[in-house]
């Protein structure tokens, strides 16, 4: 977040919680991905692991 400041917001969601009702498109694919799942702007981007560099690269492209 240091590089982007308040330009981004993030949320951690427990995929076994009722909060998943807010993400029906993600619920549909959970049986096909490995956790952790990183979703950016509603689009699944990484699963099975991630790094801050991976996320930073995608976010940089989006804010350009």
The count of structural domains within the chain is 1
**For residue 1, pLDDT beyond 70:** no
For the residues of 1-25, what is the DSSP string, one character each? Answer: -TTTGGG-------TTSGGGGG-HH
Domain with 42 in it: 5-63
Task: Give pLDDT tens digits for 6-64.
Answer: 878 889 999 999 999 999 999 999 999 999 999 999 999 999 999 999 999 999 998 87
| 26-48 burial code (b ≥16 CB/10 A, e <16) | beeebeeeeeebbbeeeeeebbe
Output the pLDDT for position 2. 64
The pTM of this model reads: 0.83
Between CA 27 and CA 3 the distance in angstroms is 30
- Cβ contact 19:13 at 8 Å: yes
Query: pLDDT, tens digit, for every residue of 2-19?
Result: 678 887 888 999 999 999
């Amino acid at each position: 977040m240091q590089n982007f400041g308040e330009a981004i917001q993030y949320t951690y969601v427990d995929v076994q919680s009722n909060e998943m009702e807010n993400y029906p498109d993600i619920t549909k694919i959970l049986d096909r991905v490995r956790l952790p799942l990183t979703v950016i702007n509603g689009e699944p981007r990484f699963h099975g692991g991630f790094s801050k560099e991976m996320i930073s690269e995608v976010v940089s492209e989006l804010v350009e």
